[in-house]
Amino acid sequence: MLIAGNWKMNKSGSETAEFCSSLKRRVDALAGRVDISVFPPFTSLAAAVTGLADSEIAVGAQNVHWEREGAFTGEVSAPMLRELGVYAAIVGHSERRQYFGETDETTARRVAAALEAGLFVIACVGELETERDAEETEDVLRRQVSVLSEDDRLVVAYEPCWAIGTGRTATPDQAREAHALIKSLLDVPVLYGGSVTPGNAEELLGQEGVDGALVGGASLDLDSFAAICELAASSS
């Protein structure tokens, strides 16, 4: 079971250092029962790596470019992340697709480059609300997953776009069906993401085919994130 916290554009370096120090104390007893990782913004990665160096909590980045170096203003490469001590990267998040022009093709290139460089990868897939209403969820997931290849260091996160940051969550049946489809296409662990909270985590994590959670807003609050980690440890 993996619980990953995507902090998005939140927490400065000093806030990250303080949070990581407290998180270590809160979840230390869960070591070996659940895998935990945090994904701070680029400017806070160094603080997180340093703050969690003596723990089992991994640190990942929220994005990674497919080239090792070059004229790509605003991007960061996998070798740069590796040198910093970063363990993993999120790729293809719906917010990257919605606001920054990420496509299935660029997602695939980022995933391949990150894996080749030795990073673990959480590749995000998920349908828009209009696509679900039009009964296109299966087609969308098949298309998004088709650009990925099985790898021991690849994890897929199913995040229905209409549930991200909205307070809405997929029903257990919806989550179970989506995870079953993804696993039929690609033999990798699949996380659920989309307004995961301590109040719904136990039911979602208990569904067949759900191998953990990619947590957004709730990962910014120590008590909430620790509670989700504890629920995952008890259900694994």
Separation CA 71–CA 171 (nearest Å): 44
Distance CA 12, CA 18 (A): 10
In tens, the pLDDT along 100-114 reads: 999 999 999 999 999
The whole-angstrom separation of Cα 135 and Cα 9 is 32
**pLDDT exceeds cutoff 80 at 188:** yes
Determine the average pLDDT of the residues in 225-236. Answer: 93
Residues 6+ apart with CB under 8 A from 43: 12, 13
For residue 16, what are the contacts with CB-CB under 8 A and spacing of at least 6? 40, 44, 47, 48, 51
Mean pLDDT of the chain: 95
- Of the ranges 158-167, 174-183, 200-209, which one carries the lowest mean pLDDT score? 158-167
Dist CA 110 CA 63 (whole Å): 8
- pLDDT at site 236: 66
- The set of catalytic residues is 93, 159
Domain extent at residue 80: 2-235
Q: Which residues contact 15 (CB under 8 A, 6 or more apart)?
A: 44
CATH number for the domain harbouring residue 224: 3.20.20.70
49-66 burial code (b ≥16 CB/10 A, e <16): bebbeebebbbbbbbbbb
Q: Give the up-direction half-sphere exposure of residue 210: CA atoms within 13 A in the CB hemisphere.
A: 29
Q: How many domains does the chain have?
A: 1
CA distance 163 to 145: 19
Task: Give the predicted TM-score (pTM) of the model.
Answer: 0.96
